[in-house]
Amino acid sequence: MSSGEARGQERGRPLVAVLSGAGISTDSGIPDYRGPNGLWRREPEAEKLVTYGPYMSDPDIRRRSWQMRRNSPALRALPNAAHHAVAQLERSGVPVRVITQNVDGLHQLAGLPARKVLELHGTARVVQCTRCKVRSPMTEALDRVAAGEEDPPCLACGGILKSATVMFGERLDPQVLGEAMAVAKACAIFIAVGTSLQVQPAASLAGIAAEHGARLIIVNAEPTPYDDRADELVREPIGTALPALLARLAAEA
């Protein structure tokens, strides 16, 4: 076993890190925001609805944001074959950590323990008060919107509510990012799946893993800036390619 393969062993087996982006959830009906047909390209104005400054200062932006959340497919989506394959890899006994850029919670719904998922950009399934920081289920807030509250305030202090996601203009949680970097440094295999590897600092995790001896595998339809550092590139559809890849890795472990 090489030094790279020996890195990140847990219970005698190598640690597998999975960095997942929007592409892993498109088969669940959740759009890729930055792809050729992504929301940000089709509707550039929509970015304002998830940008912290305009959201906090403009009640109309907040009202439109709540309607966007009501209509979002994310809370209605179900895990697809790729999410289930990651959960199955963990159930097989292979040490797995998921670092996700997604806010849909589908890795957890597929059965991966929440403690093994690092949500870099937060979660759309929870709302948080921007003043007192109290958190509550998104479904409760959306029920209030459906009942006629266009911009529901925090029930505890009256502050402005937002989804517990990292909006444009906000920093990532330093603790979550720190844990993600530690995983990237410790893993033996790092799989970047469904991510363009263009959004920093998440994209840098692939380079950190490679620098620390991990086997880097990129599963993505389009080229990424880290392709030249990858040990393996997979261009096939994620829904079929990732389960096959993870089954092979489980057999090798």
Tell me if residue 158 falls in helix, strand or coil: coil
Q: How far apart are CA 16 and CA 7, in angstroms?
A: 10
Q: How far apart are CA 228 and CA 104, in angstroms?
A: 30
Beta strands in 149-214 (DSSP E): 161-165, 189-193
CA nearest to 167, candidates 124, 108, 217, 212: 124
Choice among 83, 84, 121, 212 that is catalytic: 121
Beta-sheet strand order (sheet of 215-219): 117-119, 96-100, 16-20, 189-193, 215-219, 232-234
Q: How far apart are CA 157 and CA 205, in angstroms?
A: 38
The residue type found at 243 is: P
Cα distance from N-terminal residue to C-terminal residue, the chain:
11
- Which helix (H) or strand (E) segment holds residue 130: the answer is none
Q: How far apart are CA 238 and CA 26, in angstroms?
A: 9
For tokens 């720190």, the residue is 178
- Which helix (H) or strand (E) segment holds residue 250: the answer is helix 238-252
Specify whether 121 is catalytic.
yes
For tokens 């959740």, the residue is 30
Q: Kindly list the catalytic residues.
A: 121
